[in-house]
Amino acid sequence: MEFTLEQEKIFYFVTNESGNGIIDAVAGAGKTTTIIECANRLLQHSSKLFCAFNTKIAGEIRCRFGQKGTQNVRTHTIHSLGLKILTANPPYNYVVRQFKYNTLLRSDSIENELSHIYEFLYQLYTIPNNLTPEEIKLLNNQFKRNFDSNLLKINQLYRNTLTENEIEGFNQIINHYGIFNDSFIKSNNLKREIELYFEANKILLKAGEDQARINHWIDFGDMLYLPYIWNLYPPFTSDFVFVDECQDLSKSQLEIVMKYIHPQGRIMSVGDPQQSIYGFTGADIESFENLKNRTNAHLLSLTGCFRCPLAIVRLAQTIKTEIVGKKNYEGIIDQISLKEIVKYAKPDDLILSRLNVDILNILIEFIELDKKVHIHEDQAKEVISQFKNIFFDTDLSTDLNNELQFKNLINSVRIRSTRFIENNSKKYISNNEKEEYIKIELYELETKLKFITNRWTDWKG
């Protein structure tokens, strides 16, 4: 394989110079290939650790190292490195429970601990006078479910970002990661509601730690969080640590990586600060610059894009001026409306969206047209959750074979959800913002109810 001058400069730095390095690489520049070759060119007796972005990539990297005969190299995801730290220290054996904190939140003991918080929450909202006691109970349950859903998101972000246990830092998480929409940020209840989340999160965090110590139950977030707050040490360190996609490291991931560097060791990281796309999961959007400064790394570059046609590279140059196209064909860029996606999409096309609501609407359009689509497992769970959240447990008694009962169910869901939306809109100060919120929420509600009704009609037919 013929390498570029930029790649050869990186190889020389790794094999002939000292200190740490970090590579600013544009999209399609061969980042992973470059640092694999770096590892291949190091002395075979030096210990090497390759930190891969996910399990699939880790497996592919292991195969590539095996094909090249690279010796004394370990390849792991950062989560697996965190788990290795936990299992190298007492109590050694842990059970991974992906929905550990969901289970905790539903437990009687945590429900009791949070009961006073829920009571304060209910008092923040004005309940219409014309509701029956049963309707008030259902409405409060919906407030609680929304609170619990947000609390789980906050708890995950809190652990990923290693936020200090004080209200100012907690407030920054809420604002930075958009837990609430822009209109709600201006609401009169915001300060008090954040205080309730802060108190609830402390209770949930303590319960999570207790579960890890007593029952040895952890989730994926704990693999990164617990080694840091318990100040645990890894089972080994490496002479040279390589980190791929470093622009998407969370603070908890970075702390795990740093534990594995030998005191006299080096680290070479690679990423593109303008490809940081996992901020919503708790990744540090300043990860590239923070890692560069913390390791006092020498900055290197990969500017050639081998992935994209020239038209796309020119568009990318409006954002990242140094990118250079390496392909010899032009390519096509076009703009279409959201509804036209369903018309133009072909088998094996990939559809990306910044917003869940757009994915939901596109997915519904495909299903209505009887077109098969493959949706990522995490996204599928989110879509299912959006449908489940409009129903209550009491709705399960409906006889779906009975058309009248089904129609009454849909009408009941529409009425109570509309009430909830209208009541929730009172959090907004501006009338325009209230109206916009109601308009969007009612549209999404009707989209879901129409889809469910169509599916029921197909099933009955």
DSSP secondary structure letters along 190-235: HHHHHHHHHHHHHHHHHHHHHHHHHT-EE-HHHHHHHHHHTT---S
Residue 127 pLDDT > 80: no
Angle at 363 between CA 359 and CA 368, to 5 degrees: 150
From first CA to last CA, the distance across the chain in angstroms is 60
Rounded to an integer, the average pLDDT of 281-296 is: 88
Cα 145 to Cα 113, 243, 447: the distances in Å are 16, 39, 21
> Which of helix, strand or coil describes residue 352?
coil
Q: What is the predicted pLDDT for the residue at 277? A: 67
* Residues 256, 262, 263, 268, CA torsion sign: negative
Question: In 3D, which of 34, 160, 177 has the Cα closest to residue 101?
Answer: 160
The encoded tokens of residue 214 equal 């007593």
Tens digits of per-residue pLDDT, 141-185?
888 988 999 999 999 999 999 998 889 889 888 887 878 765 555
- How far is the C-alpha of 287 from the C-alpha of 249, rounded, in Å? 6
Question: In 3D, which of 74, 75, 77, 73 has the Cα closest to residue 55?
Answer: 77
Tally of residues, the chain: 461
pTM above 0.85, yes or no: no
Q: Is the Cβ–Cβ distance between 155 and 201 less than 8 Å?
A: yes
Q: Is the Cβ–Cβ distance between 64 and 253 less than 8 Å?
A: no
Q: What is the predicted pLDDT for the residue at 420? A: 84
Q: What is the predicted pLDDT for the residue at 352? A: 83
Q: What is the predicted pLDDT for the residue at 186? A: 58
- How far is the C-alpha of 436 from the C-alpha of 426, rounded, in Å? 12
Centre a 10 Å sphere on the Cβ of residue 360 and count the other Cβ atoms it contains.
20
If one compares 385 and 75, the residue with the highest pLDDT of the two is 75
Q: Is the Cβ–Cβ distance between 138 and 132 less than 8 Å?
A: no
- How far is the C-alpha of 333 from the C-alpha of 335, rounded, in Å? 7
> Which of helix, strand or coil describes residue 24?
strand
- How far is the C-alpha of 160 from the C-alpha of 282, rounded, in Å? 5
Angle at 400 between CA 399 and CA 405, to 5 degrees: 65
CB burial string 95-128: b at 16+ within 10 A, e below? eebeebbeebbeeeebeebbeebbeebeeeeeee
Q: What is the predicted pLDDT for the residue at 426? A: 75
- How far is the C-alpha of 252 from the C-alpha of 256, rounded, in Å? 7
4-8, 98-102, 240-244, 438-442: lowest mean pLDDT where?
Answer: 438-442
- How far is the C-alpha of 222 from the C-alpha of 86, rounded, in Å? 9
Rounded mean pLDDT of the chain? 90
Q: How far is CA 325 from the centre of its chain?
A: 31
Residue 276 pLDDT > 90: no
The encoded tokens of residue 355 equal 């917003």
The encoded tokens of residue 375 equal 């949706």
Which residues, at least 6 apart from 239, have a Cβ–Cβ distance to it below 8 Å?
Answer: 46, 47, 48, 262, 264, 265, 266
Q: What is the predicted pLDDT for the residue at 59? A: 95
Q: How far is CA 454 from the centre of its chain?
A: 32
Q: What is the predicted pLDDT for the residue at 281? A: 67
Q: Which residues pair with 242 in a beta bridge?
A: 50, 268
If one compares 112 and 281, the residue with the highest pLDDT of the two is 112
| Rounded percentage of the chain residues whose pLDDT exceeds 70 | 96
In degrees and rounded to multiples of 5, residue 403 shows phi and psi of: -60, -40
Question: In 3D, which of 243, 242, 239, 241 has the Cα closest to residue 263?
Answer: 239
Residue 279 pLDDT > 80: no
90-104, 153-167, 209-223, 382-396: lowest mean pLDDT where?
Answer: 382-396
Q: What is the predicted pLDDT for the residue at 187? A: 64
Q: Which residues pair with 95 in a beta bridge?
A: 217
Confidence of residue 49 (pLDDT cuts 50, 70, 90): very high
Extended strands (E) in 287-329: 298-302, 304-305, 324-325
Tens digits of per-residue pLDDT, 187-216?
667 888 899 999 999 999 999 999 999 999
Q: What is the predicted pLDDT for the residue at 181? A: 60
Tens digits of per-residue pLDDT, 50-62?
999 899 999 999 9
Confidence of residue 353 (pLDDT cuts 50, 70, 90): confident
- How far is the C-alpha of 365 from the C-alpha of 398, rounded, in Å? 27
Question: In 3D, which of 248, 93, 85, 235 has the Cα closest to residue 160?
Answer: 248
Rounded to an integer, the average pLDDT of 237-253 is: 96
Q: Is the Cβ–Cβ distance between 219 and 101 less than 8 Å?
A: yes
The encoded tokens of residue 382 equal 């989110």
Q: Is the Cβ–Cβ distance between 448 and 456 less than 8 Å?
A: no
